């Protein structure tokens, strides 16, 4: 009875939450660029349209958001390449976008790239760079006693003694589920756990805190954006499991990318928080459109969690 | 410059003329010995008078003669004294509380015609003892919440004690507690203020153009005076409420010479929630509490000298543990202030107060998990010396002059982090030092029977001094391109602020007047919030070479009228305010950006304006009394780096603001209070567009222009009933057997209040969410409003002995 009374008090103190509607005026939509150049891969540029915030998202609106008539050019400091509308490989996921099959355009360390996009009478441009990679010293898995076989990946890393290095972490479990979960995940057995390298919240950093230092750090398991997997709920959320085989994609990147990723992740986690502040992301695309042009210098490692 | 003292003395001498003598002294409460502020000292036959100052001192210089002097103060019996002025006369007066059953209006401590006859527009004095019958949130009487019922003063929103005055931001209000600046007057994220009403004697809010003896802020001065402590006998006051209790002890150290007052308050939210978190839970050890401690010592050294030592110490501590994840953080923050003041009477016409004040405010966030620790802290520390002279040359002039110096030390952002044995290089704590100073001179002058002016000039200065390192950052890489290092005490940047102040009152006919004022102010200390809600993470920082002083110019005028023999008073005031060098954080700023950087590199600068009309009608006396206040206002801002430089409404731009505060003395022991408030909804930035990031599988929001939309209006009604326990009891005389009625030692009352009587779900904040399964290809987006407080009854038992 006492517990009920206290719970009632707590519930009363947080009054209520209700859905409300806003009558938003029609707002002009614009196009958005998501462009990535990374070492060892051809460039990929996905061009979509913005939509009204409260417009429903269904298969029709999803298909209609792609822009297939843009003129896209990429300059690597020496040559300008025209990118064609095709299918692009975004970390193992195939998506409609712009790319080039010219082997000369494969991303190389140290190169500076300029992107120019024209959609109708609107144009946008941006710059990116592929920095040289910094290799991790070592990787290991550490399970927490309280959680049996669950834990984080730990890494040892030495930052070069030059200020201004920026990094981003991705990791992909390339092993398969060995059992099914509750519906709707009752058919996952035998499928690869992550279909692409995923970045956890807090995946990007600059070296302000650790310039020139050698140190250990732990990284939780990331989720695939708003797509929740079978183990993204409950006690396994954020953890790796003993027996996982993890492909770690550690990247170097640039300061504008770090600022964009930081703001993008902050926007994702602060939804629903009274302490958040509405603000548009620091896009590095200039001109008529929105968006971001990112460069990654990539190195890969594989870790078996045991 | 050399002839300035001579000029000053000549000016002062000229103000005193003819064969005149001075009647002066202190007016005190007869039962406690406390000095009374704002007591009217009036000679009816001459139509001249004065009022006691904040220490209860008065001085009235008149032509030689015999006069009948009337001392009057709300809630006290009028006192008449014959004064024969053929020499300077010292008369200290004790006033007794009135037995009059007529319930005086709850918040006014001024004389009955101050509304029309005072020059000061937009100044309100609150009588603390009387506001306890106004309905209060969770039964906790709160000074800052009470002033928000006044026109021109707007609440920061539900659960927020920050207040906005005439379009000014929360940092533009100077809050003083016994002359010490209080930087963060909030507990529990703004739900309560730091001021314990039991320890407070007087609260004075100046929202119109402030006179020249105040400065450093643009919008208002909230001047809070603590009680001195009962000089005659020991007493205790206290209250036990639903979520907090308080106790005040006061009494003489040496009767009529020295006294003390000690006041404490603590919440027990942590005690209430502890049963919900058993020791075996992973969250064991989590909790929140706050406490306040206020103390004061007073000593009347002689007839000419008095010494006061007062202090405040308050803390909020929020702790969160999760043992399973080996994760913990705690958030302590709070203010400490100490003031040492010396009143000295040079002679009957010249009074001086000398103060030495220390203020410290700090906030920290400390957390850790699995060997990784993190600490962020911010603080400000001031050492202040000042002298304020009041010269009463004759009954037509009241001259004030003085000087003020403050040494500031800011630590806007201190960051520390470690992982195991590795201490991350967070750089040295950035400390910013500054000297702030001012001199002023003002005269309140009865130019004629109908025309009175308050004219003054304040010259202020701010100097940023080293040690200081200026970082010049490359905007493309975030790397420090270069630095400039300043040594200890080396001047980095100096600003000067000439601040003319003028207000005038013209008595049109009996009981009505027209008032007008202009005030030009400089502000050298600023507050910037990263988030859209006021938090203790807000950073105080000073003017630097990048951050210019905020400048405000306010023009105001008003018509004031009393009705029915001063039983009703009404006013209409209009104002226009121009603001320059306003400050906001740049978009996408994070606390860690202050590391090895200057805070002001994260800021952007702009301007603004505000204008409005305030309507006020009050019934001052009678069993049924109260007031209605309505404000129409508009507040706009413009920053080149925000919204492409377009004008946008300030966060607290509130077109309509209505407060109705009523009280009814149902019987001798029962008082009913009610409050109704209505306010236009806060301005709001909404998501207008979105796009889907296929690289990240995330929905990205594209926001509207800043504050382009509105929340629903805020309105609620509160009700309270205060029942005084019987003050007498029957006692049988042992000898005669007669039954007598004797006064009880402990006087108590019960306060029953209901907050949000009709359970309105007022918006606290909005968040946006989606429902549906993206994998199934169908997602809907919506907005959710969170409201904070439903109907909330509370009971408080108050006592004193």
Q: Which residues of A touch B476 (CB under 8 A)?
A: 255-256
Pair of tokens at residue A253? 């990147």
Q: What is the rounded distance in angstroms from the CA atom of residue A64 to the CA atom of residue B280?
A: 54
Task: Answer yes or no: do B777 and A55 touch at CB < 8 A.
Answer: no
High-pLDDT (> 90) share of chain B, %: 46
What is the band of B11 on the pLDDT scale with cuts at 50, 70, 90?
A: low
Of A215, A212, A269, A255, the residue nearest B593 (C-alpha): A255
What is the band of A24 on the pLDDT scale with cuts at 50, 70, 90?
A: confident
pLDDT of A98 strictly over 80 = yes
pLDDT of B133 strictly over 80 = no
Write down the architecture of domain A31-129 according to CATH.
Answer: Sandwich (2.60)
Task: Answer yes or no: do A29 and B689 touch at CB < 8 A.
Answer: yes
Task: Answer yes or no: do A62 and B766 touch at CB < 8 A.
Answer: no
Of B650, B459, B471, the residue nearest B544 (C-alpha): B471
pLDDT of residue B784: 85
Distance between A276 CA and the closest CA of chain B, angstroms: 5
Dihedral, B536, B537, B540, B546 alpha carbons, nearest 10: -160
Lowest mean pLDDT among A181-195, B136-150, B421-435: B421-435
Q: Which residue of B has its CA nearest to A170?
A: B696
Q: What is the rounded distance in angstroms from the CA atom of residue B649 to the CA atom of residue B644?
A: 14
Domain ranges of chain A: 31-129, 138-271+298-304
Q: Of B416, B691, B754, B756, which to mutate for an interface test with A (greatest number of A Cβ within 10 Å)?
A: B691
Dihedral, B104, B106, B107, B111 alpha carbons, nearest 10: 0
pLDDT of B62 strictly over 50 = yes
pLDDT of residue B282: 57
Task: Answer yes or no: do A32 and B691 touch at CB < 8 A.
Answer: yes
What is the band of A200 on the pLDDT scale with cuts at 50, 70, 90?
A: very high
pLDDT of B423 strictly over 70 = no
First to last CA, chain A: 47
Give the closest of B425, B533, B788 to A15, CB-based: B788
Residues 619-658 of B with CB under 8 A from A: none
What is the band of B274 on the pLDDT scale with cuts at 50, 70, 90?
A: low
pLDDT of residue B534: 40
Task: Answer yes or no: do A18 and B785 touch at CB < 8 A.
Answer: yes
Q: What is the rounded distance in angstroms from the CA atom of residue A98 to the CA atom of residue A72?
A: 7
B114: helix, strand or coil: helix
Mean pLDDT of all residues belonging to chain B: 85
The torsion angles phi and psi of A6, rounded to 5 degrees, stand at -65, -40
Spell out the alpha helix ranges (H) of B596-723: none
Task: Answer yes or no: do A264 and B698 touch at CB < 8 A.
Answer: yes
Rg, chain A, Cα only: 22
- pTM (2 decimals)? 0.87
What is the band of A7 on the pLDDT scale with cuts at 50, 70, 90?
A: very low
What is the band of B243 on the pLDDT scale with cuts at 50, 70, 90?
A: confident
What is the band of B313 on the pLDDT scale with cuts at 50, 70, 90?
A: very high
Task: Answer yes or no: do B775 and A227 touch at CB < 8 A.
Answer: yes
Lowest mean pLDDT among B83-97, B169-183, B397-411, B755-769: B755-769
Residue pair A296/A36 in contact by the 8 Å Cβ criterion: yes
Pick the residue with more confidence: B656 or B108?
B656
Residue B422 at interface with chain A, using a CB cutoff of 8 Å: yes
pLDDT of residue B106: 38
Sign of CA dihedral B440, B444, B448, B451: positive
Task: Answer yes or no: do B779 and A58 touch at CB < 8 A.
Answer: yes
What is the band of B52 on the pLDDT scale with cuts at 50, 70, 90?
A: very high
pLDDT of B765 strictly over 90 = no
The torsion angles phi and psi of A256, rounded to 5 degrees, stand at -60, -35
Out of B119-128, B516-525, B614-623, give the one with best mean pLDDT. Answer: B516-525
Residue pair A95/A87 in contact by the 8 Å Cβ criterion: yes
Give the closest of B426, B695, B787 to A15, CB-based: B787
pLDDT of B598 strictly over 60 = yes
**DSSP code for B35:** B
B383 membership: H or E segment, kind and range: strand B372-394
pLDDT of A272 strictly over 80 = no
For B513-556, how does the pLDDT look when each residue is reduced to its tens digit (9 = 90+)? 999 999 999 999 998 776 544 445 677 889 999 999 999 999 99
pLDDT of B115 strictly over 70 = no
Q: All domains of chain B, ordered by start, with CATH?
A: 18-95 (2.60.40.1120), 225-716 (2.40.170.20)
pLDDT of B16 strictly over 80 = no
Q: What is the rounded distance in angstroms from the CA atom of residue B533 to the CA atom of residue A109?
A: 44
pLDDT of B219 strictly over 70 = yes
Rg, chain B, Cα only: 28
Strands B397-419 and B432-446: antiparallel
Q: Which residues of A touch B592 (CB under 8 A)?
A: 208-209
What is the band of B174 on the pLDDT scale with cuts at 50, 70, 90?
A: very high
Residue pair B40/B73 in contact by the 8 Å Cβ criterion: yes
Q: What is the 3-state secondary structure (H, E, C) of B760-800?
A: CCCEEEEEEEEEEEHHHCEEEEEEEEEECCCCEEEEEEEEE
Residue pair B340/B309 in contact by the 8 Å Cβ criterion: yes
Give the closest of A27, A146, A255 to B477, CB-based: A255
Q: What is the rounded distance in angstroms from the CA atom of residue B348 to the CA atom of residue B393?
A: 10
pLDDT of B405 strictly over 50 = yes
Q: What is the rounded distance in angstroms from the CA atom of residue A128 to the CA atom of residue A166?
A: 13
For B619-663, how does the pLDDT look when each residue is reduced to its tens digit (9 = 90+)? 988 889 899 999 999 999 999 999 989 999 998 899 999 999 998
pLDDT of A9 strictly over 50 = no
B219: helix, strand or coil: coil
Q: Of B323, B587, B591, B692, which to mutate for an interface test with A (greatest number of A Cβ within 10 Å)?
A: B692
Q: What is the rounded distance in angstroms from the CA atom of residue B726 to the CA atom of residue B173?
A: 42
Pair of tokens at residue A139? 């990787």
Pick the residue with more confidence: A234 or B405?
B405
Distance between A80 CA and the closest CA of chain B, angstroms: 24
For A153-166, how does the pLDDT look when each residue is reduced to its tens digit (9 = 90+)? 999 999 998 888 99
Give the closest of A6, A53, A277 to B688, CB-based: A53
Give the closest of B425, B689, B780 to A211, CB-based: B425
First to last CA, chain B: 57
Task: Answer yes or no: do A49 and B712 touch at CB < 8 A.
Answer: no
Task: Answer yes or no: do A209 and B712 touch at CB < 8 A.
Answer: no
Residues 344-373 of B with CB under 8 A from A: 370, 372
Task: Answer yes or no: do B276 and A211 touch at CB < 8 A.
Answer: no
Q: What is the 3-state secondary structure (H, E, C) of chain A?
A: CHHHHHHHHHHHHCCEEEEECCCCCCCCCCEEEEEEEEECCCCEEEEEECEECCCCEEHHHHHHCECCCCEEEEECCCCEEEEEEEEEEECCEEEEEEECCCHHHCECCCCEEEEEEEECCEEEEEEEECCCCCCCCEEEEEECHHHCCEEEEEEEEECCCCCCCEEEEEEEECCECCCCCCCCCCCCCCCECCCCCECCCCCEEECCCCCCCEEEEEECCCCECCECCCCCCHHHCCCEECCCEEEEEEEEECHHHHHHHHHHHHHHHCCCCCCCCCCCCCCCCEECCEEEEEEEEEEEEEEECC
B686 membership: H or E segment, kind and range: none
Residue pair B344/B335 in contact by the 8 Å Cβ criterion: no
Q: Of A28, A278, A286, A293, which to mutate for an interface test with B (greatest number of B Cβ within 10 Å)?
A: A278
Lowest mean pLDDT among A129-138, B134-143, B627-636: B134-143
pLDDT of residue A209: 81
Q: Which residue of B has its CA nearest to A21?
A: B783
Could you give the C-alpha distances from B200 to B72, B75, B177, B263, B789, in angstroms and in order?
Answer: 21, 17, 9, 10, 28
Compute the residue count for chain B.
801
Q: Which residue of A has its CA nearest to B773?
A: A227
What is the band of B289 on the pLDDT scale with cuts at 50, 70, 90?
A: confident
Residues 541-580 of B with CB under 8 A from A: none
Return the number of CB contacts < 8 Å for A and B.
Answer: 225
Distance between B347 CA and the closest CA of chain A, angstroms: 56
Q: Which residue of B has its CA nearest to A222?
A: B696
B246 membership: H or E segment, kind and range: strand B244-254
The torsion angles phi and psi of B641, rounded to 5 degrees, stand at -95, 5
């Amino acid at each position: 009875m006492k517990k009920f009374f206290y719970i009632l008090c707590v519930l009363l103190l947080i009054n209520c939450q209700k859905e409300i509607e806003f009558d938003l005026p029609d707002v002009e939509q614009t196009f958005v660029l998501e462009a990535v150049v990374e070492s060892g891969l051809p460039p990929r540029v996905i061009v979509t349209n913005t939509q009204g915030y409260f417009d429903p998202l269904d298969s029709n609106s999803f298909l209609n958001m792609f822009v297939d008539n843009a003129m896209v050019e990429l300059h690597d400091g020496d040559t300008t390449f025209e990118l064609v509308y095709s299918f692009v490989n975004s970390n193992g996921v195939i998506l409609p976008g712009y790319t080039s099959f010219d082997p000369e355009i494969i991303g190389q360390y140290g190169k500076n790239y300029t992107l120019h996009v024209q959609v109708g009478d609107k144009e946008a441009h941006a710059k990116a760079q592929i920095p040289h990679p910094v290799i991790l010293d070592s990787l290991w898995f550490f399970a927490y006693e309280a959680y049996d076989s669950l834990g984080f990946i730990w890494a040892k890393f030495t930052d070069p003694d030059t200020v201004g290095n920026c990094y981003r972490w991705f990791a992909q479990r390339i092993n398969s589920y060995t059992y099914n979960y509750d519906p709707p995940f009752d058919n996952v057995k035998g499928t690869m756990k992550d279909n692409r390298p995923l970045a956890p919240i807090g995946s990007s950093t600059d070296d302000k805190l650790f310039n020139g230092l050698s140190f250990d750090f732990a990284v939780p398991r990331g989720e695939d954006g708003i797509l929740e997997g079978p183990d993204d709920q409950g006690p396994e959320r954020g953890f790796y499991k003993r027996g996982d085989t993890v492909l770690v994609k550690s990247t170097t990147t640039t300061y504008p990318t770090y600022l964009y990723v930081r703001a993008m992740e902050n926007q994702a986690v602060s939804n629903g928080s009274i302490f958040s502040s509405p603000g548009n992301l620091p896009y590095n695309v200039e001109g008529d459109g929105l968006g971001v042009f990112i460069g990654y210098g990539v190195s890969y490692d594989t870790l078996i969690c045991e | 410059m050399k002839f300035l003292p001579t000029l000053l003395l000549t000016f002062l001498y000229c103000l005193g003329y003819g064969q005149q003598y001075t009647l002066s002294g202190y007016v005190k409460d007869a039962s406690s010995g406390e000095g009374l502020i704002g007591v009217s000292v009036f000679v009816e036959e001459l139509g001249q008078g004065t009022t006691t100052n904040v220490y209860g001192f008065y001085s009235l210089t008149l032509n030689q003669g015999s006069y009948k002097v009337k001392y009057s103060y709300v809630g006290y019996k009028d006192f008449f004294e014959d004064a024969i002025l053929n020499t300077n006369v010292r008369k200290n007066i004790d006033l007794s509380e009135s037995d009059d059953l007529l319930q005086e209006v709850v918040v006014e401590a001024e004389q009955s015609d101050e509304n029309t006859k005072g020059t000061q527009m937009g100044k309100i004095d609150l009588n603390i003892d009387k506001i306890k019958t106004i309905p209060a949130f969770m039964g906790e009487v709160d000074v800052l919440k009470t002033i928000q019922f006044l026109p021109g003063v707007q609440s920061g929103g539900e659960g927020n004690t920050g207040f906005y005055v005439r379009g000014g931001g929360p940092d533009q209000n100077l809050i003083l507690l016994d002359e010490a600046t209080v930087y963060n007057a909030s507990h529990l994220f703004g739900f309560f203020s730091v001021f314990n009403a039991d320890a407070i004697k007087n609260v004075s809010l100046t929202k119109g153009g402030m006179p020249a003896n105040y400065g450093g802020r643009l919008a208002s001065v909230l001047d809070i005076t603590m009680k001195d402590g009962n000089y005659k006998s020991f007493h205790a006051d206290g209250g036990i409420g639903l979520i907090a209790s308080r106790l005040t002890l006061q009494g003489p150290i040496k009767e009529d010479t020295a006294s003390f007052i000690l006041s404490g308050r603590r919440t027990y939210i942590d005690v209430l929630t502890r049963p919900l978190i058993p020791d075996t839970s992973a969250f064991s050890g989590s909790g929140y509490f706050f406490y306040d401690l206020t103390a004061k010592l007073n000593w009347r050294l002689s007839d000419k000298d008095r010494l006061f030592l007062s202090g405040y110490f308050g803390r909020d501590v929020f702790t969160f543990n999760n043992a399973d994840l080996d994760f913990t953080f705690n958030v302590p923050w709070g203010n400490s202030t100490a003031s040492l003041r010396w009143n000295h009477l040079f002679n009957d016409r010249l009074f001086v107060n000398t103060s030495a004040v220390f203020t410290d405010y700090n906030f920290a966030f400390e957390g850790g998990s699995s060997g990784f620790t993190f600490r962020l802290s911010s603080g400000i520390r001031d050492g202040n010396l000042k002298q304020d002279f009041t010269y009463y040359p004759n009954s037509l002039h009241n001259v004030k002059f003085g000087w003020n110096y403050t040494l500031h030390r800011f630590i806007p952002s201190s960051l520390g982090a470690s992982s195991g044995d590795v201490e991350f290089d967070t750089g040295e704590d950035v400390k910013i030092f500054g000297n702030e100073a001012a001199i002023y001179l003002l005269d309140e002058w009865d130019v004629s029977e109908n025309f009175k002016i308050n004219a003054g000039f304040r010259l202020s200065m701010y100097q940023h001094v080293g040690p200081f390192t200026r970082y010049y950052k490359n905007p493309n890489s975030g790397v420090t391109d270069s630095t400039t290092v300043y040594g200890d005490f080396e001047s980095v940047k100096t600003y000067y602020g000439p601040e003319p102040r003028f207000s005038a009152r013209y008595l049109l006919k009996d009981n009505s007047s027209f008032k007008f004022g202009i005030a030009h102010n400089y502000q050298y200390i600023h507050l910037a919030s990263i988030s859209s809600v006021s938090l203790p993470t807000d950073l105080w920082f000073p003017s630097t070479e990048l951050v210019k002083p905020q400048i405000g110019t306010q023009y105001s005028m008003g018509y004031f009228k009393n009705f029915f023999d001063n039983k009703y008073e009404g006013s209409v005031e209009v104002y226009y305010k121009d603001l320059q060098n306003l400050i906001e954080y740049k978009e996408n700023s994070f606390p860690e950006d202050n590391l090895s950087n200057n805070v002001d590199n994260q800021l952007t600068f702009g301007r603004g304006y505000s204008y409005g009309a305030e309507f006020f009608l009050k019934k001052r006396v009678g069993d049924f009394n109260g007031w209605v206040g309505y404000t129409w206002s508009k507040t706009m801002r413009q920053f080149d780096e925000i919204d492409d430089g377009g004008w946008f409404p300030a966060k607290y731009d509130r077109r309509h603001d209505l407060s109705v505060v009523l009280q009814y003395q149902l019987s001798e022991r029962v008082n009913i209070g009610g409050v109704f408030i209505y306010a236009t909804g806060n301005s709001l930035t909404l998501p207008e567009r979105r796009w889907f990031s296929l690289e990240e599988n995330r929905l990205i929001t594209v926001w509207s222009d800043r504050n382009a939309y509105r929340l629903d209006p805020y309105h609620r009604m509160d009700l309270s009933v205060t029942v005084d326990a019987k003050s007498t009891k029957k006692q049988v005389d042992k000898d005669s057997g007669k039954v007598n009625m004797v006064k009880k030692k402990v006087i108590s009352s019960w306060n029953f209040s209901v907050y949000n009587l009709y359970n309105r779900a007022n918006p606290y904040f909005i968040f946006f969410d989606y429902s549906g399964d993206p994998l199934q290809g169908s997602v809907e987006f919506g907005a959710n409003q969170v409201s904070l407080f439903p109907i909330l009854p509370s009971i408080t038992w108050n006592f004193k002995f």
